[in-house]
Structure 1
Amino acid sequence: MSNHALADRLTFMRLGPDAQNALRASQETILRALPEALDSFYEQVRATPETRAFFSDESHISSARSRQIGHWQAIAGGRFDSDFMAAVTKVGETHARIGLEPRWYIGGYALLLEHLLGELIEAHWPKGGLLSRARSAEGLKAQAGAIAKAVMLDMDLAISVYLEAAEAARQKAEAEVLRVERARVVKTVGEAMAALSRGDLTHDMPDDMPEEYSQLRADYQAAVDSLGGALQAIRAATDTMAGGAEEITSASHDLSRRTEQQAASLTETVATVGQIVAAVRQSADNAKQAAEAASTARSDAERSGEIMGQAISAMQRIETSSTQIGQIIGVIDEIAFQTNLLALNAGVEAARAGDAGRGFAVVAQEVRALAQRSAEAAKEIKGLIAGSSSEVEHGARLVKDTGAALHSIVERVGHIDGLIAGIASAARDQSENLDQVNGMVGQMDQTTQHNAAMAEESNAAAASLQSQSKELSRLVAYFRILEQTGRAGRALSSGSDARRLQSHLALAVAR
């Protein structure tokens, strides 16, 4: 307690210089009465078990009595200074330390005040009978008031120090209890957290935790239960995910293998289609050349038909000329026959004429011979012309048949030319279509190659997912959890449990 507090009390009690002077005026009386008053007080202390317990023996009482006399000497002298404050503080702290309740201290002051005031009154009481002169009542009043104020001041200060010391001791005791309790709670929570750090979710906080930490225990258990349930769900999901990842990996591997096979097949298909395109393009070129050759053959056949027509016409003209020659030969044959008759008649006439007609007979004979030779020649020519006519007729018939055949050939070559032109056009269209097919197959090949790369990447990703799921399973397997979580009275969500656990931990640390 500070000297400022003492000054405030002195001011409020009006224990100023005048009162202190009055106190000094009663000093002799106080010190004279003090030994008897202290003897009476300590006699009462000895007689009371509650107060006797605070003293170990008579020397202890004697020591306390000596300190009381010294203290009252300072009070009676009105010395309310720092030494007085130190003495009062020591008394109050001692009482607080030994546990002396204020009621015993107040009771002791009542006994002391009784003797002091009695001695003061007796000292001021008139002596020597009615004729003796009494001391001033005002002086008695002032001294009694000063003594009462000094006693109350000393008692106030001692009890205030006692209360402060007791409060400090109480706070210290509570702090110690709280420290021990908090150490216990921290140890319990530390063990729980250590178990949690080891992944052991089966660890329970003890039931004998302090009442104010019961909610912390409940929140911890609820949080552990919620975490255990979540880990069970994660474990189940991880197992499912691991199985799915394995299936995905297998399927992805199969897809990658099939895609690679498909890509290889498409590559071969591209090569084959390229060869087919080249063959069809060559066939289109050949068909085009065949169409050109067929067109040329058609033109040649048409010209041959025209020539054959001209030959037929010529043969017809030859046949007509042969007929006319035959007719002419017939006329010559008739002329030879008539000449022969004339020569015969001339010979007859020459024979009749005799020698005169001998020369004429010779001429007639020569003419007759000439007519015979002419008739024979005409006959031979006629035979030849008849044979030639037959041959010409046969040749004309053959030429006509040949012309008909050539006409049919021309028609067939024209039809073949149309077919070959159609084939060439179709081959050209097929070549263009196959070029497009080849381009599309090439794009399919590129797409398949890209898909194969993506399938390979998917396979790698699936393998990574499988590895990560195994790692997650390994991490989840680190925790020891109950097969069935959810104890009675733990229905809080994991988020609220964690927040409440955090708040309780913060409160425990703060306390």
Structure 2
Amino acid sequence: MIDENVQARLDFMGIGETERATLATISPMIASMIGDGLDHFCSKARATPQTAAFFRDEAHMAKAKAAQDSHWMRIASGTFDSGFYSSVRRIGSVHARIGLEPRWYVGGYALVLEKLLNGVAQRCSPWRRLLSWFRIPSASAASVAIVKAALLDLELSIAVYFEQSQTERDQAIAKLGSALQSLADGDLVTDLHGLPTSFAALEGSFNQSLSSVREMINGVSRSTDGIRAGSDEIAQASEDLARRTESNAASLEETSAALAQIDGRLRATAASSTKTVTRADQAIATVGDGRTTAEEAVQAMTRVSDSAKGIDSVIEGLDKIAFQTRVLAMNAAVEAGRAGDAGRGFAVVADLVSALAMRAEEEAKRARDQLTLTQADIVTAVQAVQKVDGALANISSDVGEVHALLGTMSDDATVQSSAISQITAAIGAMDQATQQNAAMVEETSAAARTLINEVTSLARQTGMFTIESGIARATAVETSTPRAHGPPTATPAPAYRSPVAALPVDTSTRAMTPAGDDDWNAF
């Protein structure tokens, strides 16, 4: 009884009773020709690496050839019953399981059909039909029947192949979807297992990617812990540095103010020193004038002393005159005494002259005594003036030294004032730089705190992943309150078109796959 799945195809392909009867009529021909066709295919299969890889040895190929011969005779019978359909489904399933691509199956049919159609053309020629009294069908009818039957078998087998492949794809997609859902739920432990053989490359790639992601998340978690610890240290150090920088800035500001005061005082000292130097110059000039005056006084007193010596000579002359006058008075008195009364008046005059001479001597003595005192006073005054001159000379020398010292002090004060001005400017620049550094340190501290928050958020997110068997990656959060994470929201997946079906299948891994007795019925 024809299977309903086969019947629908028979109806569409136009394989009716006539075509089935034609197949039954030429089945002996097919039996005699199928061996050559299968030999032709086997020679091609041996020479082609992709197909040769499916055979273990010549015995395996001979067994496959025998199975193919039996299947072709089932096709040639034209019965297309349930046994035929079961055989075709088994062939398609085997093709899908061992990874035999349809190109080789279709190619094998082309090689077999080449021999069959050439043989039919010879055996069903018009003159052979004539000799058989037209009991054999025409070459065209026989060829059409063979081609339709072969295409029916080929289509059923390929349909099963695609059905089986689709089933495997559906299974692979389901398992892959489950694995991806686990991955979306943060499970990085569960690998992808149990995919069909044709998806082994996908399974390996997924598991390798999962392992890489697991290692990456684990590395990110470790790095996050390290970064957070480093960020805490940076933030703490930045805050300490900010406090020290602020203290340094305040100290620099106070130092700058103190230096400004010192600079002002040094400038005032330099100005006072300059004024003092000027006054010292004036004092030196005054002392010089005093010494000149003292020298003039000494010279004047020397002249007075010399004049006094002249007066002493005059007084000495006066003494001599007074002495001579008294001598004359005495002589006159003697002569008056000799004259008696006549000379009495002259005696009176002589007495008066003698008294005047004595008085002149007394006055001369007094003048000499006074002159002696005056000369002594002049000598004392000259000595005093000379002492004053020496003192003024010493004062002039001392004032000169003071003048030099004050000049040096003024120059030093000016240099110190200039140096302190430079130091003040440098400290001002340092103060400004320190304030800028303080601002930068505050920004660094704020950035470090922001980095800590970001790293904490990253650690919280990586903590959602399970990277060890049954153990979630739990990351301690110290700087902020953990955010609540709800379960991941399931998003409806779009209609899936697997790209895996387009991937090339590595047949080398299946070359020596053990096969059952019917594995090569496909040929």
TM-score, normalised relative to structure 2: 0.65
Mapped pair 1:348 → 2:334? yes
Q: Given residue 166 of structure 1, which amino acid in structure 2 is its aligned partner?
A: D
Specify the alignment match of 1:197 in structure 2.
184
The within-5 A match list for 1:82-93 is none
Q: Aligned ranges for residues 406-485 of structure 1 at < 5 Å?
A: 406-482=392-468
* 1:142 match: 130
Residue in 1 that maps onto 2:325: 339
8 A contact 1:245–1:465 mirrored in 2: yes
Q: Tell me the distance in 2 between the aligned counterparts of 1:383 and 1:70.
A: 195
Answering whether residue 243 of structure 2 is matched by residue 257 of structure 1, we say: yes
Superposed displacement of residue 153, structure 1: 5.7
Q: Specify whether residues 200 and 292 from structure 1 end up closer, same or farther in structure 2 by C-alpha distance, changes over 3 A only.
A: same
SS at match of 1:481: strand
What is the rounded CA distance, in whole Å, between the counterparts of 1:323 and 1:470 in structure 2? 120
Counterpart of 1:506 in structure 2 is: 499
Are 1:374 and 2:360 an aligned pair?
Answer: yes
- Unpaired segments ≥5 residues, structure 1: 1-52, 57-66, 73-90, 104-137, 485-504
| Structure 2 residue 159 is matched with structure 1 residue 166 | no
CA distance change for structure 1 residues 193 and 302 in 2, over 3 Å: closer, same or farther?
same
Which of 82, 93, 98 pairs up with 1:98? 82
Q: What displacement does 1:450 show?
A: 2.2
Instruction: Give the whole-Å Cα distance in 2 for the aligned partners of 1:257 and 1:391.
Output: 85
Measured in 2, the distance between the counterparts of 1:355 and 1:246 equals 153
Is the 1:248–1:462 Cα contact (8 Å) retained in structure 2? yes
C-alpha distance 318-411 of structure 1, shift in aligned 2 (>3 A): same
Which structure is higher in RCO with an 8 Å CA cutoff and minimum separation 6? Answer: 2
Q: 1:71 to 1:189 in 2, by over 3 A?
A: closer
Task: Decide whether aligned partners of structure 1 residues 483 and 242 sit closer, same or farther in structure 2, where only a CA change above 3 A counts.
Answer: farther
Cα distance per residue 1:107-140 (max 9 Å; x no partner)? xxxxxxxxxxxxxxxxxxxxxxxxxxxxxxx999
Q: Deviation at 1:388?
A: 1.7
For residues 277-323 of structure 1, what are the alpha-carbon distances to aligned partners after superposition, in whole Å with 9 as ceiling and x for unaligned? 11111111111111111111111111111111111121222222223
Distance apart, 1:149 and its partner CA: 1.6
Post-superposition shift, 1:169?
Answer: 2.4
For the structure 1 residues 483 and 179, does the alpha-carbon distance in structure 2 shift closer, same or farther, using more than 3 Å as the test? closer
**Which residue of structure 2 aligns with residue 275 of structure 1?**
261
Tell me the amino acid that sits aligned with residue 500 of structure 2: L
Q: By how many angstroms is 1:233 displaced?
A: 2.3
> Partner residue of 2:169?
182
Q: Secondary structure at the match of 1:149?
A: coil
8 Å CA contact retained: 2:189, 2:469: no
SS class of match (1:147): coil
Equivalent runs, 1:294-309 vs 2, <5 Å: 294-309=280-295
Tell me the equivalent position of 2:373: 387
More helix per residue: 1
| Letter matched to residue 458 of structure 1 | T
Is the 2:129–2:135 contact (alpha carbons within 8 Å) kept by the matching residues of 1?
Answer: no
CA distance in 1 between partners of 2:128 and 2:197 (Å): 61
Cα separation, 1, equivalents of 2:261 and 2:136: 134
The 1:234/1:397 distance shift into structure 2, 3 A limit, reads same
2:290 paired with 1:315: no
- Deviation per residue, 1:208-227 (Å, 9 max, x gap): 32222233223322222222
SS in 1 for 2:195: coil
Match of 2:275 in 1: 289
Q: How far apart, CA to CA, are the structure 2 residues paired with 1:479 and 1:382? A: 138
| Identical-pair percentage | 31
SS class of match (1:202): coil
CA distance in 1, matches of 2:323, 2:469: 151
Cα offset, 1:155, TM superposition = 5.7
Shift of 1:96: 4.3
Partners of 2:335 and 2:180 in 1: CA distance:
179
Alignment match, 2:231: 245
Query: 2:311: which partner in 1?
Result: 325
Q: Residues 148-179 of structure 1, C-alpha deviation per residue, up to 9 Å, x if partnerless?
A: 125x7656544533332332222222222222
For the aligned residue pairs, the C-alpha RMSD in angstroms reads 3.4
Structure 2: how far apart are the matches of 1:437 and 1:143? Answer: 133
How much does 1:362 deviate?
Answer: 1.9
Q: Give, as a single letter, the amino acid of the residue that structure 2 aligns with 1:98.
A: S
Distance 1:101 1:421, change over 3 A: closer
Instruction: Calculate the TM-score normalised by the size of structure 1.
Output: 0.66
Q: Report the CA distance between 1:391 and its aligned residue.
A: 1.7
1:365 alignment counterpart? 351
| CA deviations over 1:311-367 (Å, ceiling 9, x no partner) | 112122222222332333233223223322322232222122222222221221221
What is the distance in 2 between the residues matched to 1:184 and 1:71?
39
1:96–1:163: 8 Å Cα contact kept in structure 2? no
Secondary structure in structure 1 of the residue aligned to 2:137: helix
- Paired AA for residue 467 in structure 2: I
What amino acid is aligned across from residue 130 of structure 2 in structure 1?
A
1:140 and 1:346 map into 2 onto residues whose CA distance is 233
Which ranges in structure 2 are unaligned for 5 or more consecutive residues? 5-15, 22-74, 88-125, 471-497, 505-523
Distance 1:100 1:193, change over 3 A: closer
The 2-side partners of 1:255 and 1:140 are apart by: 112
Q: Report the residue type matching 2:377 in the other structure.
A: E
Q: Which residue of 2 aligns with 1:79?
A: none
- Residue in 1 that maps onto 2:221: 235
Larger-Rg structure: 1
Q: What SS does the corresponding residue of 2:420 show, helix, strand or coil? A: helix
